[in-house]
A = this chain, B = another copy of it.
Protein backbone atom coordinates (compact mmCIF):
# COMPACT_ATOMS: atom_id res chain seq x y z
CA UNK A 1 0.00 0.00 0.00
CA UNK A 2 2.60 2.51 -1.13
CA UNK A 3 1.81 5.95 -2.44
CA UNK A 4 4.35 7.78 -4.57
CA UNK A 5 4.06 10.83 -2.32
CA UNK A 6 1.48 12.83 -0.48
CA UNK A 7 -0.50 14.84 -3.01
CA UNK A 8 0.87 18.22 -1.95
CA UNK A 9 4.41 16.96 -2.36
CA UNK A 10 4.01 16.19 -6.07
CA UNK A 11 6.09 18.53 -8.20
CA UNK A 12 7.92 19.01 -11.47
CA UNK A 13 10.07 15.93 -10.87
CA UNK A 14 6.98 13.71 -11.02
CA UNK A 15 5.78 15.17 -14.33
CA UNK A 16 5.49 12.51 -17.00
CA UNK A 17 5.66 9.72 -14.47
CA UNK A 18 3.20 7.16 -13.19
CA UNK A 19 2.12 8.00 -9.65
CA UNK A 20 0.01 6.24 -7.05
CA UNK A 21 -2.03 8.53 -4.79
CA UNK A 22 -4.43 7.99 -1.92
CA UNK A 23 -7.00 10.33 -0.46
CA UNK A 24 -10.57 11.54 -0.39
CA UNK A 25 -12.74 12.59 -3.31
CA UNK A 26 -13.55 16.28 -2.87
CA UNK A 27 -15.69 16.58 -5.93
CA UNK A 28 -16.63 14.46 -8.91
CA UNK A 29 -17.93 15.87 -12.19
CA UNK A 30 -18.79 14.28 -15.51
CA UNK A 31 -18.05 16.26 -18.62
CA UNK A 32 -18.02 15.14 -22.23
CA UNK A 33 -18.03 11.49 -21.25
CA UNK A 34 -15.02 11.96 -18.98
CA UNK A 35 -14.98 11.73 -15.18
CA UNK A 36 -13.15 14.47 -13.28
CA UNK A 37 -12.48 13.86 -9.61
CA UNK A 38 -10.56 15.99 -7.17
CA UNK A 39 -8.44 13.84 -4.88
CA UNK A 40 -7.47 15.41 -1.57
CA UNK A 41 -5.19 14.57 1.30
CA UNK A 42 -3.79 16.62 4.20
CA UNK A 43 -1.21 18.21 1.97
CA UNK A 44 -3.17 19.21 -1.13
CA UNK A 45 -5.66 18.42 -3.87
CA UNK A 46 -5.09 17.29 -7.45
CA UNK A 47 -7.44 16.76 -10.38
CA UNK A 48 -7.89 13.21 -11.64
CA UNK A 49 -9.20 12.67 -15.15
CA UNK A 50 -10.66 9.35 -16.32
CA UNK A 51 -11.33 8.79 -19.99
CA UNK A 52 -14.25 6.65 -21.15
CA UNK A 53 -11.98 3.95 -22.56
CA UNK A 54 -9.73 3.85 -19.48
CA UNK A 55 -9.57 0.52 -17.63
CA UNK A 56 -10.19 2.68 -14.51
CA UNK A 57 -13.52 4.01 -15.76
CA UNK A 58 -15.89 1.48 -14.17
CA UNK A 59 -14.29 1.93 -10.74
CA UNK A 60 -14.05 5.68 -11.12
CA UNK A 61 -17.74 5.76 -11.91
CA UNK A 62 -18.44 4.57 -8.36
CA UNK A 63 -16.69 7.60 -6.82
CA UNK A 64 -18.79 10.04 -4.80
CA UNK A 65 -17.92 12.89 -2.45
CA UNK A 66 -15.69 11.81 0.47
CA UNK A 67 -15.05 8.29 -0.84
CA UNK A 68 -11.56 7.06 0.02
CA UNK A 69 -9.71 6.07 -3.12
CA UNK A 70 -6.38 4.99 -4.51
CA UNK A 71 -5.54 6.31 -7.96
CA UNK A 72 -2.75 5.22 -10.25
CA UNK A 73 -2.12 7.30 -13.30
CA UNK A 74 0.01 9.53 -15.41
CA UNK A 75 0.98 12.82 -13.72
CA UNK A 76 1.06 15.43 -16.46
CA UNK A 77 0.81 19.12 -17.22
CA UNK A 78 -2.71 20.32 -17.94
CA UNK A 79 -3.34 21.88 -21.36
CA UNK A 80 -2.09 25.43 -21.62
CA UNK A 81 -4.74 27.89 -20.57
CA UNK A 82 -6.11 25.50 -17.95
CA UNK A 83 -3.12 25.77 -15.60
CA UNK A 84 -3.97 27.38 -12.29
CA UNK A 85 -0.55 27.49 -10.67
CA UNK A 86 1.06 25.07 -8.23
CA UNK A 87 -0.62 21.67 -8.27
CA UNK A 88 -3.32 23.28 -10.42
CA UNK A 89 -0.85 23.11 -13.30
CA UNK A 90 -1.12 19.32 -13.25
CA UNK A 91 -3.61 16.50 -13.55
CA UNK A 92 -3.52 12.75 -13.18
CA UNK A 93 -4.72 10.69 -16.13
CA UNK A 94 -5.99 7.62 -14.29
CA UNK A 95 -5.12 4.09 -15.36
CA UNK A 96 -6.41 2.41 -12.21
CA UNK A 97 -8.87 3.51 -9.53
CA UNK A 98 -9.60 1.55 -6.38
CA UNK A 99 -12.33 2.50 -3.94
CA UNK A 100 -10.73 1.88 -0.55
CA UNK A 101 -13.89 2.78 1.32
CA UNK A 102 -17.21 4.36 0.33
CA UNK A 103 -18.78 7.20 2.32
CA UNK A 104 -22.29 8.19 3.17
CA UNK A 105 -23.36 11.59 1.88
CA UNK A 106 -21.91 14.10 4.38
CA UNK A 107 -24.45 16.11 6.41
CA UNK A 108 -22.91 19.32 5.08
CA UNK A 109 -20.77 20.33 2.14
CA UNK A 110 -17.24 20.58 3.41
CA UNK A 111 -16.30 23.60 1.32
CA UNK A 112 -19.21 25.50 2.85
CA UNK A 113 -18.28 24.42 6.36
CA UNK A 114 -17.76 27.97 7.54
CA UNK A 115 -21.46 28.67 6.97
CA UNK A 116 -22.61 25.66 9.00
CA UNK A 117 -23.73 26.01 12.62
CA UNK A 118 -20.97 25.21 15.05
CA UNK A 119 -23.09 22.55 16.76
CA UNK A 120 -23.27 20.54 13.54
CA UNK A 121 -19.56 21.01 12.94
CA UNK A 122 -18.78 19.75 16.44
CA UNK A 123 -21.09 16.75 16.16
CA UNK A 124 -19.42 15.69 12.89
CA UNK A 125 -16.02 16.97 13.89
CA UNK A 126 -14.23 14.22 11.90
CA UNK A 127 -15.76 15.78 8.77
CA UNK A 128 -15.26 19.37 9.89
CA UNK A 129 -11.59 18.57 10.47
CA UNK A 130 -11.24 17.53 6.82
CA UNK A 131 -11.60 21.16 5.80
CA UNK A 132 -8.20 22.53 4.73
CA UNK A 133 -8.49 25.60 6.98
CA UNK A 134 -9.04 23.38 10.02
CA UNK A 135 -6.12 21.15 9.08
CA UNK A 136 -3.87 24.17 8.58
CA UNK A 137 -4.54 25.35 12.15
CA UNK A 138 -3.81 21.98 13.70
CA UNK A 139 -0.73 21.44 11.55
CA UNK A 140 0.55 24.83 12.66
CA UNK A 141 -0.09 23.83 16.25
CA UNK A 142 1.91 20.64 15.76
CA UNK A 143 4.83 22.55 14.26
CA UNK A 144 4.70 24.92 17.24
CA UNK A 145 5.02 21.95 19.62
CA UNK A 146 8.02 20.62 17.72
CA UNK A 147 9.63 24.08 17.62
CA UNK A 148 9.14 24.61 21.36
CA UNK A 149 10.51 21.16 22.18
CA UNK A 150 13.59 21.53 20.00
CA UNK A 151 14.38 25.02 21.31
CA UNK A 152 13.92 24.30 25.00
CA UNK A 153 15.71 20.96 24.81
CA UNK A 154 18.71 22.72 23.24
CA UNK A 155 18.58 25.32 26.01
CA UNK A 156 18.88 22.67 28.72
CA UNK A 157 15.23 22.60 29.76
CA UNK A 158 13.99 19.32 31.17
CA UNK A 159 10.53 18.19 30.17
CA UNK A 160 8.80 16.83 33.28
CA UNK A 161 5.22 15.63 33.61
CA UNK A 162 3.43 16.76 36.76
CA UNK A 163 0.45 14.98 38.35
CA UNK A 164 -3.00 15.05 36.77
CA UNK A 165 -4.72 13.63 39.84
CA UNK A 166 -3.70 16.08 42.51
CA UNK A 167 -4.77 18.58 45.09
CA UNK A 168 -6.33 21.98 44.68
CA UNK A 169 -3.79 24.58 43.45
CA UNK A 170 -3.83 28.28 44.20
CA UNK A 171 -5.21 29.77 40.99
CA UNK A 172 -8.46 30.38 42.75
CA UNK A 173 -10.83 29.10 40.06
CA UNK A 174 -13.15 26.20 40.72
CA UNK A 175 -11.58 22.73 40.63
CA UNK A 176 -12.81 19.74 38.72
CA UNK A 177 -13.03 16.91 41.25
CA UNK A 178 -12.27 13.22 40.73
CA UNK A 179 -13.72 10.83 43.32
CA UNK A 180 -11.31 8.20 44.63
CA UNK A 181 -12.44 4.57 44.72
CA UNK A 182 -9.55 3.40 46.86
CA UNK A 183 -10.31 6.19 49.35
CA UNK A 184 -14.10 6.56 49.22
CA UNK A 185 -15.45 9.98 50.12
CA UNK A 186 -12.13 11.57 49.12
CA UNK A 187 -11.32 13.44 45.93
CA UNK A 188 -8.47 14.35 43.69
CA UNK A 189 -8.55 17.71 41.92
CA UNK A 190 -7.52 18.07 38.29
CA UNK A 191 -4.68 20.62 38.13
CA UNK A 192 -5.51 24.26 37.39
CA UNK A 193 -1.83 24.63 36.60
CA UNK A 194 1.40 22.87 37.61
CA UNK A 195 2.44 25.98 39.60
CA UNK A 196 3.48 24.37 42.90
CA UNK A 197 4.92 21.27 41.26
CA UNK A 198 7.12 23.29 38.94
CA UNK A 199 8.36 25.32 41.86
CA UNK A 200 9.13 22.07 43.69
CA UNK A 201 11.07 20.90 40.63
CA UNK A 202 13.23 24.00 41.04
CA UNK A 203 13.65 23.16 44.74
CA UNK A 204 14.61 19.65 43.58
CA UNK A 205 17.39 21.14 41.45
CA UNK A 206 16.08 20.57 37.93
CA UNK A 207 17.22 24.09 37.08
CA UNK A 208 15.13 24.51 33.91
CA UNK A 209 11.75 22.86 33.38
CA UNK A 210 9.07 22.88 30.70
CA UNK A 211 5.89 21.02 29.96
CA UNK A 212 2.96 21.31 27.59
CA UNK A 213 0.56 20.90 30.47
CA UNK A 214 -3.12 20.14 30.28
CA UNK A 215 -4.93 22.34 32.82
CA UNK A 216 -8.50 22.39 34.06
CA UNK A 217 -10.72 25.17 35.38
CA UNK A 218 -14.41 24.72 36.03
CA UNK A 219 -15.53 28.18 35.00
CA UNK A 220 -18.50 29.33 33.02
CA UNK A 221 -17.25 29.27 29.47
CA UNK A 222 -16.66 32.18 27.14
CA UNK A 223 -15.71 32.24 23.51
CA UNK A 224 -12.03 31.83 24.26
CA UNK A 225 -12.19 29.42 27.19
CA UNK A 226 -12.38 25.66 27.44
CA UNK A 227 -12.75 23.55 30.61
CA UNK A 228 -9.46 21.88 29.74
CA UNK A 229 -6.76 23.84 27.99
CA UNK A 230 -3.05 23.63 27.29
CA UNK A 231 -0.35 25.68 28.91
CA UNK A 232 3.28 25.80 27.86
CA UNK A 233 4.68 25.87 31.34
CA UNK A 234 8.28 26.84 32.11
CA UNK A 235 10.42 27.58 35.14
CA UNK A 236 14.10 28.54 35.61
CA UNK A 237 16.41 28.66 38.61
CA UNK A 238 19.10 31.20 39.48
CA UNK A 239 17.46 33.85 37.35
CA UNK A 240 16.16 37.37 37.61
CA UNK A 241 13.29 38.82 35.62
CA UNK A 242 15.49 39.97 32.74
CA UNK A 243 16.90 36.47 32.27
CA UNK A 244 13.42 34.99 31.92
CA UNK A 245 12.28 37.69 29.53
CA UNK A 246 15.35 37.43 27.30
CA UNK A 247 14.98 33.69 26.88
CA UNK A 248 11.23 33.95 26.26
CA UNK A 249 11.81 36.46 23.50
CA UNK A 250 14.16 34.09 21.71
CA UNK A 251 11.69 31.24 22.17
CA UNK A 252 8.71 33.14 20.80
CA UNK A 253 10.73 34.48 17.89
CA UNK A 254 11.81 30.90 17.12
CA UNK A 255 8.25 29.57 17.27
CA UNK A 256 6.88 32.36 15.06
CA UNK A 257 9.67 31.80 12.54
CA UNK A 258 9.14 28.02 12.44
CA UNK A 259 5.36 28.17 12.21
CA UNK A 260 4.46 31.17 10.07
CA UNK A 261 7.83 32.29 8.78
CA UNK A 262 7.60 35.77 10.29
CA UNK A 263 10.43 37.59 12.07
CA UNK A 264 9.76 39.31 15.40
CA UNK A 265 12.09 42.23 16.14
CA UNK A 266 14.05 41.71 19.37
CA UNK A 267 14.01 42.79 22.13
CA UNK A 268 10.26 43.13 22.66
CA UNK A 269 9.17 46.58 23.88
CA UNK A 270 8.22 46.76 27.55
CA UNK A 271 5.42 48.73 29.11
CA UNK A 272 4.68 49.05 32.78
CA UNK A 273 1.17 48.07 33.84
CA UNK A 274 0.57 51.75 34.63
CA UNK A 275 1.70 52.93 31.21
CA UNK A 276 -0.30 50.23 29.43
CA UNK A 277 -3.46 51.28 31.24
CA UNK A 278 -2.69 54.99 31.00
CA UNK A 279 -1.89 55.01 27.27
CA UNK A 280 -4.15 52.23 25.96
CA UNK A 281 -6.66 51.47 28.70
CA UNK A 282 -5.71 47.79 28.80
CA UNK A 283 -3.17 45.55 30.50
CA UNK A 284 -2.89 43.70 27.18
CA UNK A 285 -2.85 46.58 24.71
CA UNK A 286 -3.19 45.88 21.01
CA UNK A 287 -0.38 48.01 19.60
CA UNK A 288 -0.79 47.08 15.95
CA UNK A 289 -2.45 50.50 15.66
CA UNK A 290 -2.21 53.88 17.40
CA UNK A 291 -5.12 55.77 18.95
CA UNK A 292 -3.11 56.38 22.07
CA UNK A 293 -4.88 58.30 24.80
CA UNK A 294 -4.01 61.95 25.29
CA UNK A 295 -3.93 63.37 28.80
CA UNK A 296 -6.13 66.48 29.12
CA UNK A 297 -7.06 66.48 32.79
CA UNK A 298 -5.22 69.81 33.29
CA UNK A 299 -7.10 71.54 30.48
CA UNK A 300 -10.43 71.14 32.22
CA UNK A 301 -9.33 71.32 35.85
CA UNK A 302 -11.52 73.78 37.74
CA UNK A 303 -13.38 74.76 34.59
CA UNK A 304 -17.07 75.22 33.96
CA UNK A 305 -17.68 71.63 32.71
CA UNK A 306 -18.16 70.07 36.12
CA UNK A 307 -17.94 66.40 34.99
CA UNK A 308 -14.39 67.08 33.75
CA UNK A 309 -13.40 69.82 36.16
CA UNK A 310 -13.42 67.59 39.20
CA UNK A 311 -12.44 64.29 37.59
CA UNK A 312 -9.29 62.53 38.73
CA UNK A 313 -8.48 61.84 35.09
CA UNK A 314 -9.66 63.13 31.73
CA UNK A 315 -8.38 61.24 28.69
CA UNK A 316 -9.18 61.69 25.06
CA UNK A 317 -8.68 59.65 21.94
CA UNK A 318 -8.67 61.14 18.44
CA UNK A 319 -10.90 59.05 16.18
CA UNK A 320 -11.68 59.48 12.48
CA UNK A 321 -14.92 61.16 11.44
CA UNK A 322 -17.86 59.33 13.02
CA UNK A 323 -21.57 59.27 12.30
CA UNK A 324 -23.99 59.94 15.09
CA UNK A 325 -25.00 56.28 14.97
CA UNK A 326 -21.38 55.18 15.37
CA UNK A 327 -20.94 57.51 18.32
CA UNK A 328 -24.06 56.05 19.95
CA UNK A 329 -22.67 52.53 19.47
CA UNK A 330 -19.33 53.54 20.99
CA UNK A 331 -21.13 55.15 23.92
CA UNK A 332 -22.87 51.82 24.53
CA UNK A 333 -19.43 50.16 24.63
CA UNK A 334 -18.16 52.79 27.07
CA UNK A 335 -21.14 52.28 29.36
CA UNK A 336 -20.79 48.48 29.25
CA UNK A 337 -17.25 49.04 30.48
CA UNK A 338 -18.11 51.19 33.46
CA UNK A 339 -18.36 54.74 32.05
CA UNK A 340 -21.41 56.88 32.65
CA UNK A 341 -21.34 58.20 29.10
CA UNK A 342 -19.06 59.11 26.21
CA UNK A 343 -18.42 62.82 25.74
CA UNK A 344 -17.36 63.76 22.21
CA UNK A 345 -16.43 66.66 19.93
CA UNK A 346 -16.23 67.00 16.17
CA UNK A 347 -13.45 69.16 14.81
CA UNK A 348 -14.84 72.05 12.84
CA UNK A 349 -12.21 74.48 11.53
CA UNK A 350 -10.13 75.67 14.47
CA UNK A 351 -12.90 74.76 16.93
CA UNK A 352 -15.39 72.01 17.63
CA UNK A 353 -19.04 71.34 17.10
CA UNK A 354 -21.50 68.82 18.52
CA UNK A 355 -21.29 66.87 21.77
CA UNK A 356 -19.83 68.92 24.59
CA UNK A 357 -18.68 71.73 22.30
CA UNK A 358 -20.56 74.36 24.25
CA UNK A 359 -18.23 73.65 27.19
CA UNK A 360 -15.11 73.87 25.08
CA UNK A 361 -13.93 77.31 24.32
CA UNK A 362 -10.54 78.21 25.66
CA UNK A 363 -9.37 74.58 25.48
CA UNK A 364 -10.00 74.18 21.74
CA UNK A 365 -6.58 75.17 20.49
CA UNK A 366 -4.80 73.03 23.07
CA UNK A 367 -7.04 70.05 22.29
CA UNK A 368 -6.27 70.33 18.60
CA UNK A 369 -2.60 70.67 19.24
CA UNK A 370 -2.28 67.81 21.73
CA UNK A 371 -4.44 65.32 19.82
CA UNK A 372 -3.68 66.31 16.23
CA UNK A 373 -7.32 65.57 15.42
CA UNK A 374 -8.03 66.03 11.71
CA UNK A 375 -10.77 68.17 10.17
CA UNK A 376 -14.09 66.42 10.72
CA UNK A 377 -12.45 63.95 13.10
CA UNK A 378 -13.96 63.05 16.44
CA UNK A 379 -12.56 63.36 19.94
CA UNK A 380 -13.85 60.79 22.42
CA UNK A 381 -13.44 61.47 26.15
CA UNK A 382 -13.39 59.44 29.35
CA UNK A 383 -13.34 61.13 32.74
CA UNK A 384 -13.50 60.00 36.33
CA UNK A 385 -11.53 57.72 38.60
CA UNK A 386 -8.34 56.82 36.70
CA UNK A 387 -8.67 53.06 36.34
CA UNK A 388 -12.36 53.22 35.46
CA UNK A 389 -11.86 56.02 32.96
CA UNK A 390 -8.95 54.45 31.11
CA UNK A 391 -10.59 51.01 31.09
CA UNK A 392 -13.76 52.34 29.48
CA UNK A 393 -11.80 54.35 26.91
CA UNK A 394 -9.68 51.25 26.26
CA UNK A 395 -12.82 49.35 25.27
CA UNK A 396 -13.84 52.24 23.00
CA UNK A 397 -10.38 52.12 21.40
CA UNK A 398 -10.81 48.41 20.54
CA UNK A 399 -14.29 49.09 19.16
CA UNK A 400 -12.75 51.75 16.89
CA UNK A 401 -10.17 49.17 15.79
CA UNK A 402 -12.92 46.78 14.76
CA UNK A 403 -15.03 49.53 13.17
CA UNK A 404 -12.24 50.79 10.91
CA UNK A 405 -10.24 47.54 10.68
CA UNK A 406 -7.29 49.51 12.01
CA UNK A 407 -5.18 46.42 12.85
CA UNK A 408 -5.14 45.44 9.17
CA UNK A 409 -2.87 48.38 8.37
CA UNK A 410 -0.39 47.59 11.14
CA UNK A 411 2.26 44.92 11.46
CA UNK A 412 1.07 41.28 11.25
CA UNK A 413 2.29 40.68 14.78
CA UNK A 414 2.98 43.13 17.59
CA UNK A 415 4.47 41.68 20.76
CA UNK A 416 5.21 43.45 24.00
CA UNK A 417 5.82 42.83 27.67
CA UNK A 418 3.65 44.37 30.33
CA UNK A 419 5.54 44.53 33.63
CA UNK A 420 5.40 46.01 37.12
CA UNK A 421 1.92 44.81 37.97
CA UNK A 422 0.65 45.68 41.44
CA UNK A 423 1.46 42.91 43.93
CA UNK A 424 -1.85 43.40 45.76
CA UNK A 425 -5.29 44.63 44.85
CA UNK A 426 -7.96 45.88 47.21
CA UNK A 427 -11.25 44.12 46.66
CA UNK A 428 -14.00 46.68 47.34
CA UNK A 429 -16.68 44.01 47.70
CA UNK A 430 -15.02 41.94 50.41
CA UNK A 431 -12.99 44.80 51.86
CA UNK A 432 -9.83 42.68 51.74
CA UNK A 433 -6.53 42.66 49.93
CA UNK A 434 -5.88 39.92 47.43
CA UNK A 435 -3.04 38.88 45.15
CA UNK A 436 -3.13 40.01 41.53
CA UNK A 437 -1.13 37.12 40.02
CA UNK A 438 -0.85 34.38 42.65
CA UNK A 439 0.45 34.37 46.20
CA UNK A 440 3.90 33.03 45.26
CA UNK A 441 4.82 35.99 43.09
CA UNK A 442 7.85 37.89 44.36
CA UNK A 443 7.42 41.58 45.16
CA UNK A 444 10.00 44.09 43.94
CA UNK A 445 12.74 44.07 46.63
CA UNK A 446 12.67 47.89 46.91
CA UNK A 447 8.99 47.75 47.84
CA UNK A 448 9.26 45.20 50.66
CA UNK A 449 9.00 47.86 53.40
CA UNK A 450 5.49 48.74 52.17
CA UNK A 451 4.02 45.40 53.30
CA UNK A 452 1.55 45.97 56.10
CA UNK A 453 1.42 49.75 55.55
CA UNK A 454 -1.37 51.87 54.07
CA UNK A 455 0.68 51.98 50.86
CA UNK A 456 0.87 48.23 50.25
CA UNK A 457 -1.25 48.74 47.15
CA UNK A 458 1.85 50.39 45.63
CA UNK A 459 4.03 47.30 45.94
CA UNK A 460 5.18 46.26 42.48
CA UNK A 461 5.23 42.56 41.65
CA UNK A 462 8.07 41.01 39.66
CA UNK A 463 5.36 39.79 37.29
CA UNK A 464 5.13 40.05 33.52
CA UNK A 465 2.60 39.35 30.82
CA UNK A 466 3.42 38.59 27.20
CA UNK A 467 1.00 40.38 24.87
CA UNK A 468 0.52 39.51 21.20
CA UNK A 469 -1.92 41.50 19.06
CA UNK A 470 -3.95 42.47 22.11
CA UNK A 471 -4.10 38.94 23.57
CA UNK A 472 -2.37 37.95 26.77
CA UNK A 473 -0.56 34.88 25.52
CA UNK A 474 1.69 34.41 28.54
CA UNK A 475 2.05 35.42 32.14
CA UNK A 476 4.62 34.74 34.81
CA UNK A 477 6.71 36.05 37.61
CA UNK A 478 9.82 35.74 39.68
CA UNK A 479 8.74 33.63 42.66
CA UNK A 480 9.25 34.16 46.35
CA UNK A 481 12.11 31.96 47.52
CA UNK A 482 12.48 33.40 51.04
CA UNK A 483 10.05 31.84 53.56
CA UNK A 484 9.98 35.16 55.50
CA UNK A 485 8.74 37.07 52.46
CA UNK A 486 6.23 34.32 51.77
CA UNK A 487 4.90 34.79 55.30
CA UNK A 488 4.62 38.57 54.75
CA UNK A 489 2.67 37.92 51.57
CA UNK A 490 0.23 35.57 53.26
CA UNK A 491 -0.27 38.09 56.06
CA UNK A 492 -0.94 40.85 53.51
CA UNK A 493 -3.79 38.88 51.95
CA UNK A 494 -5.23 38.04 55.34
CA UNK A 495 -4.14 34.41 55.62
CA UNK A 496 -3.05 33.45 59.13
CA UNK A 497 0.00 31.17 59.38
CA UNK A 498 -2.39 28.33 60.27
CA UNK A 499 -4.60 28.96 57.27
CA UNK A 500 -1.59 29.22 54.99
CA UNK A 501 -0.29 25.93 56.37
CA UNK A 502 -3.61 24.23 55.90
CA UNK A 503 -3.79 25.26 52.25
CA UNK A 504 -0.15 25.02 51.18
CA UNK A 505 1.62 23.18 54.02
CA UNK A 506 3.54 20.75 51.82
CA UNK A 507 4.82 23.59 49.67
CA UNK A 508 5.80 25.79 52.62
CA UNK A 509 7.77 22.83 53.99
CA UNK A 510 9.54 22.44 50.67
CA UNK A 511 10.47 26.13 50.65
CA UNK A 512 12.58 25.66 53.78
CA UNK A 513 14.85 22.92 52.46
CA UNK A 514 17.05 24.97 50.17
CA UNK A 515 15.05 26.87 47.54
CA UNK A 516 17.00 28.56 44.75
CA UNK A 517 15.92 31.94 43.37
CA UNK A 518 13.58 31.05 40.51
CA UNK A 519 10.97 32.36 38.16
CA UNK A 520 8.94 31.27 35.20
CA UNK A 521 6.05 31.78 32.90
CA UNK A 522 3.15 29.93 31.32
CA UNK A 523 1.86 30.49 27.82
CA UNK A 524 -1.76 30.02 26.90
CA UNK A 525 -0.85 27.67 24.09
CA UNK A 526 -4.30 27.41 22.54
CA UNK A 527 -4.57 31.19 22.37
CA UNK A 528 -1.08 31.62 20.90
CA UNK A 529 -1.87 29.14 18.13
CA UNK A 530 -5.20 30.88 17.55
CA UNK A 531 -3.45 34.22 17.03
CA UNK A 532 -0.66 32.78 14.86
CA UNK A 533 -3.12 30.95 12.64
CA UNK A 534 -5.53 33.87 12.43
CA UNK A 535 -8.41 31.81 13.84
CA UNK A 536 -11.37 33.53 15.44
CA UNK A 537 -11.67 31.19 18.44
CA UNK A 538 -9.51 28.71 20.31
CA UNK A 539 -12.07 26.07 19.34
CA UNK A 540 -10.71 26.32 15.80
CA UNK A 541 -7.28 25.14 16.93
CA UNK A 542 -8.45 22.37 19.29
CA UNK A 543 -9.24 19.08 17.58
CA UNK A 544 -12.21 18.07 19.74
CA UNK A 545 -13.39 21.05 21.82
CA UNK A 546 -16.39 21.37 24.10
CA UNK A 547 -19.14 23.83 23.27
CA UNK A 548 -19.86 26.72 25.64
CA UNK A 549 -22.03 24.49 27.82
CA UNK A 550 -19.05 22.20 28.43
CA UNK A 551 -20.51 19.49 26.22
CA UNK A 552 -18.63 17.31 23.76
CA UNK A 553 -21.25 17.06 21.03
CA UNK A 554 -19.36 14.30 19.23
CA UNK A 555 -18.77 11.77 22.00
CA UNK A 556 -21.78 13.06 24.00
CA UNK A 557 -19.97 13.77 27.23
CA UNK A 558 -20.78 14.36 30.02
CA UNK A 559 -23.39 11.68 30.47
CA UNK A 560 -25.19 9.87 33.31
CA UNK A 561 -23.49 6.82 34.85
CA UNK A 562 -24.89 3.77 36.57
CA UNK A 563 -25.53 4.21 40.27
CA UNK A 564 -23.30 1.19 40.94
CA UNK A 565 -20.39 3.17 39.48
CA UNK A 566 -21.14 5.99 41.90
CA UNK A 567 -21.50 3.61 44.82
CA UNK A 568 -17.97 2.32 44.12
CA UNK A 569 -16.60 5.78 44.88
CA UNK A 570 -18.92 6.28 47.85
CA UNK A 571 -21.24 8.83 46.23
CA UNK A 572 -24.85 9.25 45.26
CA UNK A 573 -26.72 11.85 43.26
CA UNK A 574 -27.94 14.46 45.71
CA UNK A 575 -31.60 14.48 46.60
CA UNK A 576 -33.15 17.80 45.65
Write the residues of chain A forming the contact surface with B, with a CB cutoff of 8 angstroms: 1, 3, 6, 22-24, 40-42, 66-68, 100-104, 106, 124-130, 135, 138-139, 141-143, 145-146, 149-150, 153, 156-167, 174-183, 185-190, 196-197, 200-201, 203-207, 214, 216, 218, 220, 227-228, 230, 237-240, 243, 481-482, 506, 510, 512-517, 542-544, 546, 549-552, 554-561, 565-575
Contact = CB atoms under 8 A, between A and B. Distances in A.
Contacts of A160: 138, 141-142, 543
Given A186-B559, A515-B101, A238 B22 contact: yes
Contacts of A204: 125-130
A557 B159 contact: no
B556 A506 contact: yes
Minimum-distance CB pairs A-B, first 9? A103-B514, A129-B204, A186-B558, A146-B153, A180-B558, A167-B557, A66-B514, A167-B555, A142-B159
The number of times this chain is found in the oligomer is: 2
Among A188, A196, A220, residue most surrounded by chain B Cβ atoms (within 10 Å): A188
Contacts of A177: 178-179, 561, 565-566, 569
B187 A561 contact: yes
Contacts of A149: 145-146, 149-150
A458 B515 CA distance: 61
Contacts of A203: 126
Given A125-B204, A161-B542, A183-B550, 19 more contacts: A6-B207, A22-B237, A41-B205, A42-B158, A106-B513, A126-B200, A129-B205, A130-B204, A138-B160, A142-B159, A146-B153, A163-B555, A165-B552, A166-B555, A167-B557, A182-B550, A189-B557, A571-B572, A571-B573
B513 A558 contact: no
A108 to B, nearest CB: 11
A557 B506 CA distance: 11
Contacts of A159: 141-142, 145-146
A103 B165 CA distance: 29
Contacts of A166: 552, 555, 557
A139 B165 contact: no
Nearest to A542: B161
Contacts of A179: 177, 179
16 contacts: A24-B514, A41-B205, A66-B513, A68-B514, A100-B517, A101-B482, A129-B201, A130-B205, A146-B150, A150-B150, A164-B214, A176-B178, A178-B190, A183-B551, A188-B557, A566-B574
B186 A158 contact: no
A159 to B, nearest CB: 4
A68 B516 contact: yes
Contacts of A574: 566-567, 570-572
A100 B202 CA distance: 14
A165 B557 contact: yes
A200 B130 CA distance: 11
Nearest to A504: B555
Contacts of A243: 1
B178 A510 contact: no
Contact of A514 (B67, B129, B153): B67
A1 to B, nearest CB: 5
B158 A165 contact: no
Contacts of A568: 174
Contacts of A180: 550, 558
Contacts of A189: 557
A552 B167 contact: yes
Nearest to A66: B514
B138 A206 contact: yes
Contacts of A186: 558-560
A196 B146 CA distance: 24
A238 B550 contact: no
Contact of A101 (B100, B106, B516): B516
Contacts of A23: 205
B163 A552 contact: yes
A80 to B, nearest CB: 32
A67 B543 CA distance: 47
A257 B514 CA distance: 36
B517 A164 contact: no
Contact of A573 (B227, B552, B570): B570
B164 A543 contact: no
Nearest to A123: B506
A188 B558 contact: yes
Contacts of A565: 175, 177
Nearest to A549: B182
A240 to B, nearest CB: 5
Given A104-B513, A178-B176, A481-B101, A135 B187 contact: no
